[in-house]
Amino acid sequence: MRIAELVPWLVRSGGSFWGEFLFLQVRTDEGVDGWGEVTTTTRAANRGVAAMLRQANELVAGHDPARIEDVWHKLFRAFTYMGSRGAAANVVSAVDIALWDIRGKVLGVPVHDLLGGAVRDDLPLYTHPDQSRFGSRDGVAEEIGKIVESGHTAIKFDPFPHAPGEPEANDRYLDGRLSRALEREAVELTALIRELAGPDVELLVDAHGRFDVPTAIRLGQALDEAGGIHWYEEPVPPESRHALQQVRDRVRVPISVGERLHTRWDFAPVLENRLADFVMPDVTWTGGISELKKIATMAEAYYVPVSPHDASGPVNLVAGGHVMLTVPNFYRIESSGYDLGAYNRFLRTPLDNRDGRLRLPPGPGLGLEFDLDYLRAHAQDGFGG
């Protein structure tokens, strides 16, 4: 069996946070296909990575798809001189996930069986409210109520408002500050969510790397007092470990980082320098299934829990889930909402997240079967098969 073609699919995903998903179909000369994903955060990034995936055909076409580690290194090293993180790691991730899917299908076993076997039967989730409905107390109460009623026991949200006139983009960093007035709004929202969710639901606060050091410290201290926060995610931008160290030294709430770290080499200094209490690599950005398993094993040696960032599409969630089913130091896995309808419309069999727990599909490989007619009907900008 040989790799025949890499086919990126850029598809509209109405009802999802992202608005579109970027999937990868790896086709073989024997008709066994594998699926990966590398949905990023902007239209420009999705189209750039899709083009890179198409170009990567010349690197992997004709290779044995069972030689997953070999293909990983061939792709990774091909981008060394332009920088092997970021988009390069995205390309590696998508291909790697698809090759594990193919291997499982060829052998007739789920991916987690190839990674040492399961240490648990299902995976507790954390999920997000629709914050566009947070304009009133009733809107917050409705959103939090739906999540709690669905059986989820952990909720992640970003309580930090944007100043009037400021772009509504969480990945935009300008001066890194937040006014005292907006800080009060964040504290009040956090306290309200704690009141509505009850004392036993874990609250995870995401700062999206928006703040400078003194602001991140001030907000972390205030929110900890307001709502008993389980973690404080990306309090400062990911580029400076020194900034993260300063925040960590001054706040009590546990720190979580990792969705914007790529490969084991980015996670090694975080673990060595005790900069985080949780790590949250994204299987579609950090290097795929192969790399997520290695990062989780590294974190296990430091007794640091792993909680994958899996807020994109169905392959993102399920690929991360297969690894986490095998990982002793697993905390929770992320889903973008308590209702997975935005994922399920692409699949022939819906995902099972009853009672806030993910049960992986039972088939070989990833266990996902895409509705190709639906994919074709929603493909965009010439990316699809």
- Residues marked active site are found at 208, 309
Q: How many CB atoms lie within 10 A of CB 220?
A: 23
> E strands of the chain, at which residues?
3-13, 19-28, 34-37, 123-126, 154-157, 202-206, 231-233, 255-257, 278-279, 333-334, 357-358
Q: How far apart are CA 3 and CA 57, in angstroms?
A: 9
Q: How far apart are CA 372 and CA 9, in angstroms?
A: 10
Backbone angles phi, psi at 294, to 5 degrees: -65, -40
- Taking Cα atoms as reference points, which of 99, 94, 111 lies closest to residue 21? 94
User: Which residues, including other chains, have CB under 8 Å from residue 286's CB and lie 6 or more apart?
Assistant: 89, 93, 258, 261, 262, 263, 266, 292, 295
Q: Which residues, listed in sequence order, are joined to residue 77 by a DSSP beta bridge?
A: none
Q: How far apart are CA 259 and CA 300, in angstroms?
A: 18
**CA torsion angle 97 103 9 359 (round to 10):** -70
Q: Report whether 368 contacts 24 (CB < 8 A).
A: no
Q: Which residues, listed in sequence order, are joined to residue 269 by a DSSP beta bridge?
A: none
Tracing tokens 């290695």 back to the chain, one arrives at 294
Q: Which amino acid, 86?
A: G
